[in-house]
Amino acid sequence: MAQILVLGGTAWLGRAVVRQALAQGHEVTCLARGDRPAPDGARLVAADRHDGTIEPYAALPDTSWDLVIDVARQPGQVRGALAALSDRAAHWVFVSSISVYADHSRPDADESAPLLPALIGDVAQAEEYGAGKVACEQAVIGARGPHALIARPGLIAGHGDPSDRFGYWPGRFALAAERAEPVLVPDRTDRACQWIDVRDLAAWLVTAGVGGTTGVMDAVGPATTLEAVLYAAIAAAGFSGRVVRAGDEALREAGVEEFMGPRSLPLWLSDPAWAGFLDRSGAAAAAAGLGHRPLTETVGDALAWERELGLGRPRAGAGLDRPDELALIAALTH
């Protein structure tokens, strides 16, 4: 049994990490601000890391950790944790992102691709997410040299997803199936699509971390196509209605955004500058044991989560509100 400290553990991926660690028989402590609970079976230590100092970590037991897993986005928080805890941690995993890369146009790129310039300062604003993660990675490498695992996930999918992206498709087909209505999809479904199931990622972060795996690795699934995701979503939703296809230009003219955000079609990426974003190599993590469940399972989990949230809800993070989608379909097919 390993003593694992999760810096985080109360949100989505962090909770999944904690659950996987507990299921593997480890003892887990989480450090977070304390407004949200940690999963049952884990100890939660409440502390606020926002000032980037070592002070918040004084709330933790004065012990050594077999593994620390940090999901932070803020360089100051990452530096503070390393200063306070690195000497007492046998293994360290930092959850970064493929958003660290400077260029997303090239399919099959790997970890050798150039990165964004690192953020200067302790706090990354939302639009500085990638540069902030670069600075976090540099802090980890600065403190631990090669003795850390830096995992760069791509799009994470599955139950509990707060981003409204991957789940949009099974959720939308399910809503349309209930109402016997059509669904709007991008015409080009042959473009690459890639995700990592939250449970597969969490399990790997724990096993690789406990096992002492080190290095920098893109944590992504095998690349397939948007078509494969849409077919799986249609099957999971039991949808047998009409699919209305719209070309890139028509969607853009209608003001529909790509990939994410308000009034978007999730996972639709027509901009050549993003042609490789959902199409990374992933060979290093695969060689280090990152495995993947079938797409049908991830889509099923995402659909269950969408049903819990409410299929007809306004789309906060990504997707089209249903009335807007129907109006677009009417305008595109008049």
Nearer to ligand NAP, 166 or 239 (CB): 166
Nearer to ligand NAP, 9 or 39 (CB): 9
How many residues sit close enough to ligand NAP to count as binding (CB under 6 A)? 22
Map the footprint of ligand NAP across residues 61-120, applying CB under 6 A.
Answer: 71, 73, 95, 97
Nearer to ligand NAP, 219 or 232 (CB): 219
Kindly write out the interface string for residues 34-53 of this chain, putting x where it contacts ligand NAP by CB under 6 A and - elsewhere: -xx-----------xxx---
Near ligand NAP by CB under 6 A, which window of 9-17, 221-229, 237-245, 257-265? 9-17
Nearer to ligand NAP, 34 or 241 (CB): 34
Nearest distance, CB of residue 129 and ligand NAP, angstroms? 7
Nearer to ligand NAP, 52 or 186 (CB): 52
Nearest distance, CB of residue 109 and ligand NAP, angstroms? 16
Map the footprint of ligand NAP across residues 136-175, applying CB under 6 A.
Answer: 153, 155-156, 163
Map the footprint of ligand NAP across residues 14-33, applying CB under 6 A.
Answer: 14, 32-33
Nearer to ligand NAP, 11 or 331 (CB): 11
Q: What is the 3-state secondary structure of the chain? A: CCEEEEECCCCCHHHHHHHHHHHCCCEEEEEECCCCCCCCCCEEEECCCCCCCCHHHHHCCCCCEEEEEECCCCHHHHHHHHHHHHHHEEEEEEECCHHHECCCCCCCCCCCCCECCCCCCCCCCHHHHHHHHHHHHHHHHHHHCCCCEEEEECCEECCCCCCCCCCHHHHHHHHHHHHCCCEEEECCCCCEECCEEHHHHHHHHHHHHHCCCCEEEEECCCCEEHHHHHHHHHHHHCCCCCEEEECHHHHHHCCCEEECEECEEECCCCCHHHCCCCCCCCHHHHHCCCCCCCHHHHHHHHHHHHHHHCCCCCCCCEECCHHHHHHHHHHHHC
- Interface residues with ligand NAP (CB under 6 A) are 8-14, 32-33, 35-36, 48-50, 71, 73, 95, 97, 153, 155-156, 163
